[in-house]
Amino acid sequence: MHLAVAATTTGGKLLTMLIALIAFAAVVGIILFLAALAERRGRRQTAWLFLAPTLVLLVVGLVYPAGRTVVRSLYDAAGSQFIGLHNYLTIFSSDEQLVVLRNTVLWVLVTPFVATVIGLIYAILVDGARGESFAKALIFLPMAISFVGASIIWKFVYEYRDHIENLLPGQQQIPQIGLLNQVIVWLGGKPQQFLIDSPWNTFFLIVVMIWIQAGFAMTILSASIKAIPAEMTEAARLDGVGAFEMFRFITLPSIRPTVVVVLTTIAIGCLKVFDIIRTMTGGSFGTSVVANEFYTQSFSAGNQGLGAALAVLLFILVVPIIVYNVRQLRASEGR
């Protein structure tokens, strides 16, 4: 089949892309044509024609694979022998996997809280200020950058150059090229290997996620703050309410549902965080998390049973947060 051969030239790739676009459009065109035909004959199955591509793709791409993964998680590494819940037992008992779980908990607890607090403070500080949109864009821009790009940016900040303990006369330290280590040197400290020294390295990875997500929190909280009715704040102001009370009794209660949505959304992102860890440490030095460990076990360590169990665990952890999130979202919409 010609289409199944990967093109190697720029022209070939773009041609393949064009063919794919035409193919996708043709599917939609054929469906609309059939629907028009069916309608003219007064048939009523038009709806199923409209739904067909979506339903087929969802069953093939999500429902069936998810089912297979659940079954796979009950088998051994090679997928040949049924071992019940043994893989899940491994996740909760082996030393390596417990570190993975610990890190995942750290990510999910620390990141949403810190990112939301920073986002909220910044949203309040720049609200109505001159150059507000520019100030917001600065914080928000990391959202547009890929996790891989963000990881490279921060890896450079953390870059470490060998530190010589006992300098010979006339010898000089190798200059640091990572900003953070240079700041430490300027302050008279000793350069650190931020990404290697466990368990603190996990926190330095979390910083990257906070850097990305604070903009998200800021944007959504800012929209929510601006939606607080002016009459409410005006009345409070006339009553002589101070800044802190205003925040505590007016702002915070008004935006509470949004804060919860922001917290849970970032928490979901943290549960599934993969790119940052893969790019910055590859999960070494005790920094792995569930989503990364899934990839390692499935695609490099060759333990597909354990990989599947980790994927299912991720699924199980995500579901309650999303359900809660959707309910909060609806609650905040209802206001």
Partner 1 sequence: MTQLSVPAIPADPGVDTGSGRRRRGRSSAADAARKKLTSPWASLVAVILAVLWTLPTFGLLVTSFRPEADIKNSGWWTVFTNPTFTLDNYQTVLGSTGQDNLAPYFINSIAITLPAVIAPILIAALAAYAFAWMRFPGKNTLFVAVFALQVVPLQVTLLPLLELWVDMGINRTFWPIWLAHTMFALPLAVFLLHNFMREIPGELIEAARVDGAGHVTVFFRLMLPMLKPALAAFGIYQFLWVWNDLLVGLTFGGQANVNPLTVALFNLTGTRGTAWHLLSAGAFVSIIVPVVVFVALQRYFVRGLLAGSVKG
Looking only at residues 125 through 154 of this chain, which bind partner 1 when binding is defined by CB under 8 A? 125-129, 131-133, 135-139, 141-149, 151-154
Site for partner 1 in 90-129 (CB under 8 A): 118, 121-129
Q: Tell me: does residue 175 bind partner 1 (CB under 8 A).
A: yes
Question: How near is the Cβ of 213 to partner 1 at its closest, in Å?
Answer: 11
Q: Tell me: does residue 326 bind partner 1 (CB under 8 A).
A: yes
- For residue 309, how many other CB atoms are within 10 A of its CB? 27
Q: Are 190 and 163 in contact (CB under 8 A)?
A: yes
Q: Tell me: does residue 284 bind partner 1 (CB under 8 A).
A: no
Q: Which two tokens stand for residue 95?
A: 């030393």
Question: How near is the Cβ of 126 to partner 1 at its closest, in Å?
Answer: 6
Number of residues in contact with partner 1 under rule CB under 8 A? 147
Site for partner 1 in 304-323 (CB under 8 A): 304, 307-308, 310-312, 314-315, 318-319, 322-323
Among 30, 43, 199, 237, contact with partner 1 (rule: CB under 8 A): 237
Smallest CA-to-CA distance from 310 within 163, 90, 103, 15 is with 90
Of 92 and 327, nearer to partner 1 (C-beta) is 327
Q: Tell me: does residue 227 bind partner 1 (CB under 8 A).
A: yes
Secondary structure (H, E, C), 63-92: HHHHHHHHHHCCECCCCCCECCCHHHHHHH
List C-alpha distances in Å: 335 to 4, 19, 258, 260, 329.
Answer: 52, 47, 11, 15, 10
Of 147 and 202, nearer to partner 1 (C-beta) is 147
List C-alpha distances in Å: 108 to 55, 266, 296.
Answer: 33, 8, 20
d(CA 193, CA 326): 41
Among 30, 43, 62, 173, contact with partner 1 (rule: CB under 8 A): 62
